[in-house]
Amino acid sequence: MTSTPAPDRRSAGVGLVLMLALLAMIGPFTIDTIFPGFGAIADELDVTAPALQQTISVYLVSLALMSLLHGPLSDAFGRRPVIIASCAAYAVTAVACALALLRPAARGPCCPGDLRRRRHDRRPRDDP
């Protein structure tokens, strides 16, 4: 009779610690990546700095609301499916945001960059 070797508890513990560290790092990484580009984003979208700072407020409010929802969701469905679904949603939205600048059709009709172009296109022309 052959027995299978028992899994190494040390390697399982290292994997768990690494996964938890990566999950805990997503929130601060997300909020810290926008700060260096505040000036360029404000110029590109033609908005003031206080208006752009509201994106941080919206992010923090959504983070707080999802913190309230993750507990009951993980109780109902288990931790693993909730973590996988949350990471998948984060990845999909991150890719969508990155690709939004490449495809003008992906931007909505109220995109400030489009409005600024329309505003410049409507300048009165000198008629001959």
61-108 pLDDT, tens digit per residue, is: 988 898 899 889 999 999 999 999 999 999 999 898 888 777 665 455
Q: What is the pLDDT of residue 72?
A: 93
Higher-scoring residue by pLDDT: 68, 5: 68
pTM score of the predicted model: 0.62
Higher-scoring residue by pLDDT: 117, 2: 2
Structural domain spans, the chain = 38-114
Reply yes or no on whether the pLDDT at 30 is more than 70: yes
| Concatenated DSSP letters of 44-93 | HHT--HHHHHHHHHHHHHHHHHHHHHHHHHHHHH-HHHHHHHHHHHHHHH
